[in-house]
């Protein structure tokens, strides 16, 4: 009986089944108020996307304007911004195509995401996004993952980068009562009304536009991030040389110098850091010549980076000098090497050249030698100097050319220590030294000209006991045999004379020299 009482009739079974189905349908039914709420949110997101897009367009135009005004500085940042817009447009359009596919799945081929008819359709989003084989949901997740990584690399602000990571997160979702986490696409699109799926995709587009705006703003900021900030402007005149010769050219660069007095660069010269912050480089000039130096500046920028700027320069050290000349003493001697000093203050010796009339002018290192040719004819020395790449005549000096003065004849002596002395007569002279002497010589040895002459001939005159003069002729510059025999016969206190001395100098002029008296000791 009991078993028969619990047996349900077919009709009752049908009624119970229909009740269960109806209950399930009521549980799954979404109220029109909720659907209306999704529609309002979707419309608001569309308006927000339009506003954010206009803001992003404005930032991009500012980058375009800057690149137009300063291509060298702004073009690279504009290129990065263009790439951001391209990648953003790609994923934005991908989402638009998914929204259209979901709505058309629910409303047919004429479906419009902005005017959804079957807003409560619970299958369309899942079919489009999760159906096996098409992987559209997984493809969107992968696109978002790439975009998130790409954008955050362009945003140096860690807080903003964290916000972008959170907004575009595609992490798996764990729900209460389930052991296995759902994938991002299953959590977003499984059993979702069409209007909710479209709203979610519009929200995703909003997040993408937000991320694009942060990246574009970071790029716009980076245009000046590496610049050195300045708080003081000064005008400076930087001449190429402070010393200008008459006929030369004065050159100077007039520049505006911007400095940051709160963050001065570090300066290194020849590997050593400069010991002051004003850029003043000083050293003691201990030797003459041209000296070069190089170094670099390290400049810190607002973004924490620093740049190195190399430089090199040189300076010339000359001897302190003043030219003092007596007009009446501008004399050169013909036939010999006349040392001449030539210098131009402020110009290195290797930039100086000179020439001479009536003779030759040669250079040996930093010294010059003038050798006039004709006596009685003036010699003119013209000095030119190369200043700032331009040759200019800086001095013209005229000298009178004279023949050498007559030399003084002498007998060369050598003592026991090998020291050389010159006997010029007029005082007692040891007979032994006279006998050792080969002959006489002649020279200008006043410490200025120091020019040696060649003795051609001379005579000696002796006097006998009757007072008769006995002349003897030399053998060129040497004493003849008869002269030496006469020396042997000389007694203490006797004297003789050397006269008719003929000598020729380097100028080729033969001259008669004054006689000399020799007293035998």
* Cβ-based burial of 419 (10 A; exposed 0-12, middle 13-18, buried ≥19): exposed
pLDDT of residue 54: 93
502 found inside a domain: yes
**Which among 181, 200, 225 is the end of a domain?**
225
**219, 112: one domain:** yes
Q: Is the pLDDT of residue 18 over 70?
A: no
433 found inside a domain: yes
Return d(Cα 27, Cα 9) in angstroms, integer: 27
**434, 511: one domain:** yes
Return d(Cα 451, Cα 441) in angstroms, integer: 12
**37, 169: one domain:** yes
**480, 375: one domain:** no
pLDDT of residue 470: 92
**275, 346: one domain:** no
273 touches 299 (CB < 8 A): no
pLDDT of residue 24: 47
Antiparallel, parallel or unpaired: β 266-269 and 289-300: antiparallel
This prediction's pTM: 0.48
Q: Domains in the chain: how many in total?
A: 4
195 found inside a domain: yes
**468, 343: one domain:** no
Token couple for 424: 């010029």
**78, 204: one domain:** yes
pLDDT of residue 497: 95
Please state the φ and ψ torsions of residue 277, each to the nearest 5 degrees.
-95, 5
**466, 498: one domain:** yes
Which pLDDT band holds residue 177 (cuts at 50, 70, 90)?
Answer: low
Residues 223-266: pLDDT tens digits? 866 566 666 777 766 766 655 655 556 677 777 777 777 677 88
498 found inside a domain: yes
**DSSP H helical segments within 381-477, as ranges?**
431-436
Token couple for 150: 């790409």
Return d(Cα 173, Cα 180) in angstroms, integer: 9
Higher local confidence (pLDDT), 345 or 142:
142
Please state the φ and ψ torsions of residue 494, each to the nearest 5 degrees.
-75, 160
**206, 304: one domain:** no
pLDDT of residue 2: 40
Higher local confidence (pLDDT), 176 or 460:
460
**452, 424: one domain:** yes
Q: Which of 101-110, 142-151, 444-453 has the lowest mean pLDDT?
A: 444-453
8 found inside a domain: no
**Which among 156, 190, 225 is the end of a domain?**
225
Domain assignment of residue 412, given as a range = 408-520
Alpha carbon of 464 to those of 48, 434, 472: distances in Å?
Answer: 143, 19, 13
491 found inside a domain: yes
Give the number of C-alpha atoms closer than 13 A to the C-alpha of residue 106, restricted to the C-beta side: 26
Higher local confidence (pLDDT), 334 or 46:
334
Instruction: For residue 127, count other CB atoms closer than 10 A to its CB.
Output: 16
Average pLDDT estimate for 180-197: 86
12 found inside a domain: no
**395, 414: one domain:** no
Q: Which of 82-86, 268-272, 288-292, 341-345 has the lowest mean pLDDT?
A: 288-292
Cα dihedral across residues 359, 362, 366, 367: positive or negative: negative
Question: Which neighbouring-strand residues pair with 443?
Answer: 408, 452
11 found inside a domain: no
**52, 160: one domain:** yes
Axis-axis angle for helices 158-167, 194-225 (nearest 10): 160
Please tell me what DSSP assigns to residue 245: -
Name 28's Cβ contacts closer than 8 Å, sequence gap at least 6.
122
**Which among 273, 292, 317 is the end of a domain?**
317
Q: How much is the CA Rg of the chain, to the nearest whole Å?
A: 56
């Amino acid at each position: 009986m009991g078993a028969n009482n619990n047996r349900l009739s077919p009709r009752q079974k049908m009624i119970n089944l229909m009740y269960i189905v109806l209950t399930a349908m009521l549980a799954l039914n979404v109220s029109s108020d909720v659907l209306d709420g999704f529609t309002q949110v979707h419309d608001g997101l569309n308006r927000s996307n339009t506003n954010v897009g206009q803001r992003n367009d404005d930032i991009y135009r500012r980058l375009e304007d800057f690149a137009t005004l300063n291509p060298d500085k702004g073009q690279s940042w504009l290129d990065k911004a263009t790439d951001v817009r391209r990648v953003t447009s790609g994923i934005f359009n991908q989402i638009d195509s998914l929204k259209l596919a979901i709505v058309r799945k629910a409303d047919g081929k004429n479906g419009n995401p902005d005017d959804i008819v079957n807003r409560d359709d619970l299958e369309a989003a899942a079919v489009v996004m999760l159906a096996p084989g098409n992987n559209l949901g997984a493809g969107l997740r992968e696109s978002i993952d790439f975009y998130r990584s790409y954008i955050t690399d362009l945003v140096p602000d860690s807080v903003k980068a964290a916000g972008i990571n959170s907004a575009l997160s595609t992490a798996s979702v764990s729900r209460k009562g389930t052991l296995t986490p759902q994938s991002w696409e299953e959590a977003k699109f499984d059993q979702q009304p069409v209007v909710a799926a479209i709203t979610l995709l519009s929200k995703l587009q909003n997040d993408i536009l937000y991320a694009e705006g942060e990246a574009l703003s970071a790029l716009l900021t980076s245009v000046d991030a590496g610049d050195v900030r300045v708080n003081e402007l000064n005008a400076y005149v930087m001449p190429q040389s402070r010393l200008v010769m008459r006929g030369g050219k004065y050159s100077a660069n007039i520049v505006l110098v911007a400095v940051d007095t709160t963050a001065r660069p570090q300066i290194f010269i020849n590997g050593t850091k400069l010991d002051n912050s004003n850029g003043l480089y000083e050293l003691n000039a201990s030797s003459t010549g041209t000296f070069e130096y190089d170094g670099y500046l390290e400049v810190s920028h607002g973004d924490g980076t620093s740049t190195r700027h190399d430089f090199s320069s040189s300076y010339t050290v000359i001897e302190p000098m003043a030219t003092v000349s007596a007009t009446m003493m501008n004399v050169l001697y013909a036939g010999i090497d006349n040392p001449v000093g030539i210098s131009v203050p402020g110009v290195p010796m290797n930039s100086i050249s000179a020439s001479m009339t009536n003779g030759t002018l040669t250079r040996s290192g930093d010294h010059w030698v003038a050798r006039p040719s004709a006596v009685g004819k003036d010699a003119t020395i013209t000095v030119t100097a190369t200043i700032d790449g331009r040759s200019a005549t800086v001095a013209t000096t005229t000298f009178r050319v004279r023949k050498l003065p007559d030399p003084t004849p002498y007998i060369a002596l050598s003592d026991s220590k090998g020291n050389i002395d010159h006997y010029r007569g007029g005082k007692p002279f040891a007979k032994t030294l006279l006998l050792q002497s080969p002959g006489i010589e002649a020279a200008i040895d006043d410490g200025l000209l120091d020019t040696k002459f060649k003795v051609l001939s001379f005579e000696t005159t002796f006097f006998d006991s009757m007072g008769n003069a006995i002349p003897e002729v030399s053998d060129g510059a040497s004493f003849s045999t008869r002269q030496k025999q006469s020396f042997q016969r000389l007694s203490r206190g006797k004297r003789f004379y050397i006269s008719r001395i003929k000598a020729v100098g380097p100028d080729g002029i033969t001259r008669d020299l004054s006689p000399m008296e020799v007293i035998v000791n």
